[in-house]
Structure 1
Amino acid sequence: MPSRYTLGGDEHLFVEVSESMSLDAFFTSILVTKELADRAIPGVTEICPANASYQVRFDPDVISVADLRAELEEIEAGIGDHDATLETRVIEFPVYYGDPWTHETLMRFRDRHQDPDSTDLEFAARANGYADVEQFIEAHSATPWFVSMVGFVAGLPFMYQMVERSKQIQVPKYLRPRTDTPRLTVGYGGCFSCIYSVRGAGGYQMFGITPVPIYDPEQQPAHLRDFMIFFKPGDIVKFRPVDRAEYDAIVEAVDRNEYQLPTAPVTFSLKEFEADPAAYPTTILEALDGTR
C-alpha cells in the first residue's frame, strides 16, 4: 500500500508505511528517517522511526505540513524498489534462559496466562511446534534479530527475527498484563522479542534475563558512557544462552566496568537477505568471530 500520512495535532506528522510488519516496511521507515535526518531540514525537530511507520515532529512556523510531506514523499520515491543497505552493528547479548527471577514472577501471575499449568517457555515451545524447551531456546537464540524500534519505556528494544516469515516465532501476550516484570527480562509478544529496560508492568511472555544493562540515566556502565540508552533502530542482536555461573560472572564484570559486549560493524543488504533468508544471516553473524 502507499504510505499513509496522518496529522497528530499541529506539530506531528505520522507516516504508516505498511499495515503489517516486514523487513521491507522496516527498511523503508529506517532509510526515509535516516535521509531526513541527514538533510537537516529547518523546522524538523524530532524524528522517531518505528516497526513499520515513523513520526516527525516539526515547527509549523518554520515548515508547513505540505512541504514536509512533499519532502518525505520525494525521499521515499528515491528509495523505490531499492537494493537497500544499512551500515549498522551486530551485538551478542548473553541470556540466562529459564532464570529463577522471571520464573518466580511468572508463577505469581499464572491466573493471567493462557496456560496456567506451563511456564512461559514451555507454552511458547508448544505453541511453535518444538519438541521441548531446549529446541525452542535454540530457535530463539540461533538467528539474529533486527532492532526495529526503541521505546514504550526508555531504552526498550523491539526486535524482529531475521528469518523467513513462515519460520518466525509467534507467541501471544498474557491474557491480562502483569503488574511486575524483572528488569532486563527477555520477553516475547506477537512476533517481537524485547528486553525490559526497567522493572515494571508488562504482558510479554518471559523467557529469561540478561546480565547486561541497556539503560542507565547515570551512564555508569562502560558501554553506556556515550548515551544512557544502548540500542538504536537498525542494530542486529544475537542472543547467546548462558548458565547461572556465567550470568553471575558477567554481572560482576559489569559492576567493575570490565565487561565488553561482543560487537562488530556490518553492512546489511535487504536484497541479499531476501534472496537467501536462510543463509544470509549466517554471514552477518560471522562478523562477531574474533570479538569474544
Structure 2
Amino acid sequence: MNLLHAVGDRAILVDCDDLEAVLALNAALTVAPPDGIVDIVPAARTVLVTFDPARLSADRVTGWIRSTPPVPPEVWGYSDVVEIDVQYSGEDLAEVAALLSTSEREVVQAHTASVWRVAFVGFAPGFGYLVTDSPQLVVPRRASPRTSVPAGSVGLAGEYTGVYPRSSPGGWQIIGRTDAVLWDPDATTPALLVPGRVVRFREAS
C-alpha cells in the first residue's frame, strides 16, 4: 500500500515501494485525471500530485489516487519511440568498459540495443532519467564530478542513462554526445523527453 502525505493544501505526495511502482502509478494517474488536477510529477520513489483546492478537495484527490489501479508495464506511457543519434566517443567510455569488465564496443552495443524509458525528469529542464530492463550498464557516478559537462553529453549513472540538455556541472560517466535538442522553451512541447516516453539510441555514422 502506497503512503500518501499532504504537501500544503495543494498537493499530495505518494511514497512508492520502488521505481517500477512509480512508473505504474504515474501511467495510471495520467490517463484521465479529474478536472482540477494541475500536475503529476514522478520521481525515483514518489509521485507528487498537485491540484486546485478551489475545484478539488484533498480528500477527493486522495480517494482518486487510492482508487486508481496501477497500469501494467506493457502499456506504460507513450507508444511512439524517440530515436537519438549518438557519437560514442565520450571521455569516460574506456572507464565504463573497465568497470563493466567489457570492451568499449560492447558498451556501445549494449547501449544501442537496450530499449530505454523516461522514468522521470529533474536536475535541469529537459533532463530525463532513463531506465531499461537490461542490467548490463549499471555503473557508479564519477568519484569527482566535472564543473562543466557540454550540452548533448550522453552519460550513465547507477541504473540510469541521460542526456545533458545544456552545459552544466555533472558527475555522470560520459560515453558519447548527440546533437538532439532536448529542451526548446519556444516549442509547443518544450521537452523532448517526458515521463513514459520510449527512447532508442543509435550510433551516428
TM value normalised by structure 1: 0.64
Query: Please, which of 81, 94, 100 is the counterpart of residue 90 of structure 1?
Result: 81
Match of 1:279 in 2: none
Out of 18, 28, 33, which is 1:32 matched to? 28
The count of aligned residue pairs is 204
What SS does the aligned partner of 2:30 have?
helix
Q: Helix, strand or coil for the counterpart of 1:218?
A: coil
Aligned to 1:124: 96
**Displacement of 1:129 after TM fit?**
2.6
Which structure's residues are more often helix, by fraction? 1
Distance 1:233 1:203 in 2: 22
Tell me which of 133, 154, 177 is aligned to 1:209: 177
**Aligned partner letter, 1:11:** R
In structure 1, how many angstroms separate the alpha carbons of the residues matched to 2:43 and 2:80? 18
Question: Counterparts of 1:129 and 1:52 in 2: how far apart (Å)?
Answer: 30
* Residues 223-255 of structure 1, C-alpha deviations (whole Å, 9 max, x = no match): xxx322112211111111124xxxxxxxxxxxx
Q: Which residue matches 1:283?
A: none
Aligned to 2:47: 54
Aligned to 2:9: 10
Aligned partner of 2:194 among 227, 232, 235: 232
How many angstroms apart in 2 are the aligned matches of 1:70 and 1:202? 40
Aligned partner of residue 124 in structure 2, secondary structure: coil
Is the CA contact 1:11–1:58 (under 8 Å) kept in the aligned structure 2? yes
1:56 Cα deviation (Å)? 0.9
Alignment of 1:1-292 (within 5 A): 2-18=1-17, 20-22=18-20, 25-35=21-31, 38-42=32-36, 44-76=37-69, 79=70, 82=72, 85-86=75-76, 87-99=78-90, 103=91, 120-130=92-102, 132-163=103-134, 167-219=135-187, 226-243=188-205
Task: Name the CA distance, whole Å, in 1 between partners of 2:43 and 2:155.
Answer: 18
Offset of residue 179 of structure 1: 1.6
Relative distance call for 1:168 and 1:230 in structure 2 (3 A) is same
For residues 137 and 28 of structure 1, what CA distance do their matches in structure 2 show?
29
Q: TM-score, normalised by structure 2?
A: 0.88
Q: Which has the higher strand share?
A: 2
Any stretches of 5+ residues in structure 1 without a counterpart?
104-119, 220-225, 244-292
Q: Contact conserved, 2:165 with 2:181, CA < 8 A, in 1?
A: yes
Amino acid at match of 2:89: G
Contact 2:27 2:196 in 1 (8 A): no
Runs ≥4 in structure 1, deviation > 4 angstroms?
A: none
**Larger Rg computed on CA atoms:** 1
Q: Distance in 1 between matches of 2:137 and 2:26?
A: 23
